[in-house]
Amino acid sequence: MSAEAADPGAPLRRRSRPRIDLRRLGRVALLGPVSRDRLPDAIGHVAEAHRAHHPDADLTILRRAYVLAESSHRGQMRKSGEPYITHPLAVTLILAELGAETTTLTASLLHDTVEDTEVTLDQVREQFGDEVCYLVDGVTKLEKVDYGAAAEPETFRKMLVATGNDVRVMSIKLADRLHNMRTLGVMRPEKQARIAKVTRDVLIPLAERLGVQALKTELEDLVFAILHPEEYEHTRALIAAAAGPDAPLDTIADNVRGTLRDAGISAEVLIRPRHFVSVHRVRRKRGELRGTDFGRLLVLVTEDADCYAVLGELHTCFTPVISEFKDFIAAPKFNLYQSLHTAVVGPGGAVAEVLIRTHRMHKVAEAGVVALGNPYAQDHAAAPQTEPSDERADPTRPGWLSRLLDWQESATDPDTFWTTLRADLAQDREITVFRTDGGTLGLPAGASCVDAAYAQYGDRAHTSIGARVNGRLATLSTVLSDGDTVQLLLAQDTASGPSPDWLDHARTPAARIAITGWLTDHPDEAKPAPSTMTSADPGGPGPAEPAAAERAAQATAPARTRSGPRATGVVVDGPDAPVRLAGCCTPVPPDELTGFVVRGGAVTVHRRACPAVAAMQEIGRAPVGARWADAGGRESDAGCRVTLVAESFGRPRLLADLTEAIATAEAAIVSATVEPPSEQRVRHTYTLQLPDAAGLPALMRAMREVAGVYDVSRAQHPAPAG
């Protein structure tokens, strides 16, 4: 608001958005109010820009707002020496050029009156109504005398909360910051840098999320000039050197115009120069810049179908670069952006990027939520209520903003809020995942099932025990991709809580704050991390649950052994001795084997991968060579014995369904153990007699297909005797 701002960017201005003449306005503003029957000259620019978007707009309220703003700010000067009224005028002109409606412009003219003059909110409400009063209050800064060092973060918190009810609050703030950044040069260098960093970390990401690209790109260039002056000057020189009448994009643009004209497609083809930061990014990515890297072609049409017609002609008449094609019309970005992106090869091999959109899409791409007009003009009370998690149900209250407002309530400490806000806004890409009930969740790229759980259930997510991603069971640490379908699984025990390990996988502030809060409140109750669930290849055994493997690895005594039903199916090296199959891993053909001599001279045979093998070797037991008797790795008709561990979620009839699956596979249950449920998870251990080892994969597959079972593996720890 009253921060003064530099003009490093005079050359950056867009040709379609002329700067307001502050010196002329300053002289006009000093002349004082005018008669009631005509519009003050000082807001002539604003009225002209406003009528271009809203031809029937009533300018009476703008006149009254200007008169109040001019009279209340009279005598105040900016640090640049201009009358202070030039600032709200410039901010209002920025919004008028973007197409903001009359209420927003009225509040913009008055946005500093309550903060910097004797005007009160009650006076604003009395003269201009509740809407204007709300917007002015939303952008009014909190006093440092009351909040001290917390004034800035708490002011932003206040603005964000106000934005949650009316996005026009943030529209005014963004335009306010843009004008301040344009004239920041009168400030000390250290203050310029501080304001530029806050703009970079908070305001630019907010402009991106609200889709206001026209403000975002200019803010980026102004910040670039202040924080990276050398790179800025180098980029400026490159752009100046590339300018000229024979630019390669001009030739390609002419060819595109001719192609579309011959196809009978009415379209406007423009060359859209890249802004400074965009050119800088391309140079860092590619190294040496091509002549076509300094801009892109913009093709504007009337209807959505025309966009695809243009795309078809371009891909037919030019060589397309298929890897550059993106369809943001069928799948709009979370910030309302819609466009077709492609690239084609022009004469001489020059590659040009092309944006294809309707005029309406272009307006929204430039102005974002500002282009929506007044979203609160209609009575929404009668409108059907939409699912709040739907990112596009209400474009004025996008999902990211709802999530931000939710977590900020838990970040009561200003420093925590300020740090978390910057980290949250730094995540510049979002993904959409689908819930099994038909809703959607918007999450930052890299989010895990932990984040999805807290986004969907809030504090109820403390009881999460797993998830299904695209129908397959997955750990809570699983990173989600755009378009995934996720079903979160919660324990019935509402007293359970998160593991500290969850913090390693949480990307969203809501999840991190909720987990940290629970762990702080329950220092002695943090549960261990959930076991690693796996949807192993159904054609073979999956990996064992980690805790079980650790228990086996820690074994220091010989594993219990069991005489095999046909121990003669195994041949061991050395003297003739009884051979037994180890009950800890129940080897079956074609497992690789190794044996150990135990008390009494018998040889116990283990699977070579059994953790007990390492334990035996650590205590000095020498291994004995062992192998299956016949070359085919099959036992005799007596079959084989194996111990399987089934990990599952508890539910009624689970044991009956598992035993039915085992019986269907023609396996006999020698012994079975069901451990007490832990966090709604149950471990079943079965020692089974199979007629043939070849049937083991099919048996394990059948057990995994039982509802609630998320893993079946070969036992790798001592099993109960049969």
pLDDT at 453 over 90: yes
Top mean-pLDDT range of 22-31, 317-326, 675-684: 317-326
What pLDDT, on the 0 to 100 scale, is given for residue 522?
78
pLDDT in tens, 102-121: 999 999 999 999 999 899 99
What pLDDT, on the 0 to 100 scale, is given for residue 600?
63
- The pTM of this model reads 0.61
Averaged over 140-161, what is the pLDDT?
A: 81
pLDDT at 501 over 50: yes
Asked whether the CA dihedral 299, 302, 304, 308 is positive or negative, the reply is negative
pLDDT in tens, 644-653: 888 887 777 7
Averaged over 554-574, what is the pLDDT?
A: 47
pLDDT: is 684 or 671 the higher one?
A: 684
Mean pLDDT of the chain: 78
| Window from 38-42, 249-253, 288-292 with minimum mean pLDDT | 38-42
pLDDT at 355 over 50: yes
Averaged over 536-553, what is the pLDDT?
A: 32
Burial class (CB in 10 A: 0-12, 13-18, 19+), 424: buried
Spatial neighbors of 97 by CB under 8 A, at least 6 apart, are: 17, 49
What pLDDT, on the 0 to 100 scale, is given for residue 10?
37
Averaged over 122-151, what is the pLDDT?
A: 87
Fill in the amino acid letter for 540.
G
Pull the structure tokens for residue 513. Answer: 């704050």
Pull the structure tokens for residue 217. Answer: 């790109």
pLDDT at 179 over 70: yes
What pLDDT, on the 0 to 100 scale, is given for residue 227?
92
Whether residue 604 contacts residue 582, with contact meaning beta carbons closer than 8 Å, is answered with: yes
Averaged over 557-585, what is the pLDDT?
A: 59
The distance in angstroms from the start CA to the end CA of the chain is: 80
What pLDDT, on the 0 to 100 scale, is given for residue 529?
43
- Classify 92 as helix, strand or coil: helix
Whether residue 449 contacts residue 484, with contact meaning beta carbons closer than 8 Å, is answered with: no
User: Active-site positions?
Assistant: 115-116
| Window from 123-132, 282-291, 628-637 with minimum mean pLDDT | 628-637
Top mean-pLDDT range of 336-345, 370-379, 634-643: 336-345
pLDDT band at 490 (very low <50, low <70, confident <90, very high): confident
pLDDT at 530 over 70: no
pLDDT at 194 over 60: yes
Whether residue 709 contacts residue 534, with contact meaning beta carbons closer than 8 Å, is answered with: no
pLDDT at 506 over 70: yes
pLDDT: is 441 or 375 the higher one?
A: 441
What pLDDT, on the 0 to 100 scale, is given for residue 597?
82
What pLDDT, on the 0 to 100 scale, is given for residue 536?
32
pLDDT at 39 over 80: no
Averaged over 548-566, what is the pLDDT?
A: 33
pLDDT at 386 over 60: no
- Angle, CA 379 vertex, CA 374 and CA 384 arms, to 5°: 110
Averaged over 240-259, what is the pLDDT?
A: 86
Whether residue 641 contacts residue 687, with contact meaning beta carbons closer than 8 Å, is answered with: yes
